[in-house]
């Protein structure tokens, strides 16, 4: 029996995510948006691409939530995107209301679903979805670390001239300028990054990763969508196909990595039950200190939420 995945928000990120999931061909996809005719048009276009790309045309676009009933996974991308000069944190009040409303609607119709949050500020919006849904922490997960790690991996591949397929990296912490690329756990073909690239060059790649979203906003005048959409789809794959992938996701930590009661980026085993295990990495003293700074920054944003 095919899985059912709902993507809320038919903008660039949501539409990219929906098509990536459709191309895997294991799930029917419902694309929801408040703009009349917009998700219907996106869905029709994706369905017509099925003949070319080789998947079954089972994408429904809707302005309501009845079609989402019985979803296995709900991906929430709805919300205002960033514009130049705006931080992810600037979006908190506007997007809190949107994410709270969306969560209430989808939970009402899919009480057994796993929620994947993509809306920014990501860490804070996970708290909102958790508070409104009242789901266990294993079933409310944020997409951030996969995207940040993908950006770090791209920079490493360019710097070393080696295949991105051989880069193994991990970015933890909050989805903001204090995120923590874990250099000590980064390898290319099994060789530690620090043996391949000078420290100064690594520091520049780390900084570019931290500002990766802002770099794209400055170029496009809006948020990225290809990499975020693909990253969210990878999480849906791991859940729907019970892949047991170890991926960096935003999860509610309760003492792990010295962080308590906060949605925060950490490596997890992701499968059919959602977060099935939080994986503990051995970090350097410097990386631990960076994580503490990142956690403090996330707490500041979470502190202004109505839903906690």
Written as one string, the DSSP assignment of 26-73 is SEEEEEE-SSTTHHHHHHHHHHHHHHHHT----EEEESSSGGGTT-SE
Question: What's the CA gap between 207 and 214, in Å, rounded?
Answer: 12
Question: Of 4, 151, 175, 269, which one is the catalytic site residue?
Answer: 175
Q: Which residues on adjacent β-strands are paired with residue 114?
A: 73
| Summary count for the chain: helices (H), strands (E) | 10, 14
The DSSP symbol for 173 reads B
127 annotated active-site: no
Q: Burial, 134: exposed, middle or buried (Cβ in 10 Å; 0-12, 13-18, 19+)?
A: exposed
What are the tokens at 215? Answer: 């770099």
Active site members: 175
């Amino acid at each position: 029996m095919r899985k059912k995945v709902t993507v809320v928000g038919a903008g660039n990120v949501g539409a990219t995510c929906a098509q990536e999931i459709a191309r895997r061909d294991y799930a029917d996809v419902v694309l929801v948006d408040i703009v009349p005719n917009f998700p219907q048009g996106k869905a029709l276009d994706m369905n017509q691409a099925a003949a070319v790309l080789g998947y079954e045309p089972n994408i429904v676009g809707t302005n309501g939530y009845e079609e989402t009933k019985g979803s296995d996974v709900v991906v929430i991308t709805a919300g205002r995107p960033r514009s130049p000069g705006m931080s992810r944190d600037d979006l908190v009040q506007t997007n809190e209301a949107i994410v709270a409303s969306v969560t209430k609607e989808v939970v009402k119709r899919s009480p057994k679903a796993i929620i994947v949050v993509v809306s920014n500020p990501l860490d804070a919006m996970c708290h909102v979805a958790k508070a409104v849904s009242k789901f266990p922490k294993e079933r409310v997960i944020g997409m951030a670390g996969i995207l940040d790690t993908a950006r770090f991996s791209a920079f490493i591949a360019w710097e070393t001239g080696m295949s991105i397929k051989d880069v193994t990296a991990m970015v933890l912490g909050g989805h903001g300028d204090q995120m923590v690329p874990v250099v000590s756990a980064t390898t290319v073909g099994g060789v530690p990054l620090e043996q391949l690239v000078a420290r100064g060059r690594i520091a520049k790649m780390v900084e570019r990763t931290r500002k990766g979203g802002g770099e794209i906003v400055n170029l496009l005048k809006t948020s990225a969508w290809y990499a975020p959409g693909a990253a969210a789809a990878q999480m849906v794959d791991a859940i729907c196909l019970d892949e047991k992938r170890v991926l960096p996701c935003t999860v509610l930590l309760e003492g792990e990595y010295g962080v308590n009661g906060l949605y925060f980026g950490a490596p997890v085993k992701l499968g059919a039950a959602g977060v099935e295990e939080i994986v503990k990495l051995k970090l350097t003293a410097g990386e631990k200190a960076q994580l503490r700074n990142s956690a403090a920054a996330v707490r500041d944003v979470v502190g202004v939420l109505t839903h906690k």
